[in-house]
Amino acid sequence: MRYGRILAGELHKAATLPAVWGGVAGALLGALAVTLLNSVAARAALENGRAEAWGSTSPFENAYAAMPLTVVGAVVLGVVVISSEYTANRADAGGGRQIATTLTVTPYRIQVLAAKAITVVVGVMVIAPATLLVTVGLARLVIGGGAETVSVTAAVTRCLGGTLYATLTGLIAFAVTVLTRSGILPLLVLIMNSTLVSGSLLLTKLTPLAHWLPDLAGRRLFGGLDTVDGGLAPLPGAIVMSGWTLALLVIAGAVFSRRDA
């Protein structure tokens, strides 16, 4: 079987899964809401002549601050692409899970898993820049384009950094879900960790080694965001986070190719 067909099948499967669109829509709406709140406050600060009180009045900064929500979208995508395979049907409809169909239609496990990982990458690489584009547009509408202080080059670099972070996080979510076969635990842990309370950040109070955890290692990929001091610089951080991602994907591949479905 040509690899393109396996990939086409997986892309098709993801694009026609309502949970994927739910995750994308949720992340986009969340990012729009945060951007709107930020921008309204920034505009009020500008109008009151107290711009410095609101950190930054740049539309880009106010939109970029919502990018962690895109990371949540990436986590949802990474999780549901694989957890949907293991969701059991209603018992009175015969039970049954999609994974049996997937593995009889395309019994080449590593290729299937790789196609799913590529699906996550493609998805996040479309969602993240698109969300940023839409939110920056919204912020410019509210604040006004004249207040922009971030250069286009800087904006593009930071968009790429944030997108890379979201992509790697999506892949980590994917790899962990391959191991758990259920999306509940990875969704809870990863979304909590990237929104409410960062468990890894708390760990840094105990040991500086926590700066080498995947999420903290990569956090400087978000150039310009306020974050705690210390830890790895952007490039070594990106390498460490990519290393984690790769290692988890390799483990997921080894387990997936040996395990009974």
Partner 1 sequence: MLLIDQVVKRRGSRTVLDRVTFAARPGRVTAFLGPNGAGKSSTLRILLGIDRADQGRALIGGRPYRSLREPLRTVGAMLDGVGAHRSRTAWSHLAWIARTHGIPRRRVREVLEQVGLAGHAGVRVGRYSLGMGQRLGLAAALLGEPEVLVLDEPVNGLDPEGIRWIRRLVRDHADAGGTVLLSSHLIGEVAGVADDLVIIANGRVVRTGTLAEVTAGHGDLEETFFALTGGAPGVGR
Residues that bind partner 1 (CB under 8 A): 1, 5-6, 8-9, 12-13, 16-19, 84-85, 87, 89-90, 92-98, 100-101, 103-108, 258, 260-261
- CB-based burial label for 12 (10 Å; 0-12, 13-18, 19+): exposed
Smallest separation, CB 94 to partner 1 (Å): 3
Residue 103 or 118 with smaller CB distance to partner 1: 103
DSSP state of 87: P
- CB-based burial label for 103 (10 Å; 0-12, 13-18, 19+): middle
Residue 104 or 153 with smaller CB distance to partner 1: 104
Residue 19 or 203 with smaller CB distance to partner 1: 19
Smallest separation, CB 85 to partner 1 (Å): 8
Smallest separation, CB 112 to partner 1 (Å): 10
Smallest separation, CB 32 to partner 1 (Å): 25
Residue 103 or 255 with smaller CB distance to partner 1: 103
Buried-exposed string 126-146: b where 16+ CB fall within 10 A, e elsewhere: ebbbebbeebbebbbebbeee
Residue 85 or 148 with smaller CB distance to partner 1: 85
DSSP state of 48: T
Closest CA to 213 of 232, 229, 228: 232
Smallest separation, CB 257 to partner 1 (Å): 10
Let me know: does 35 contact 138? Beta carbons within 8 Å: yes
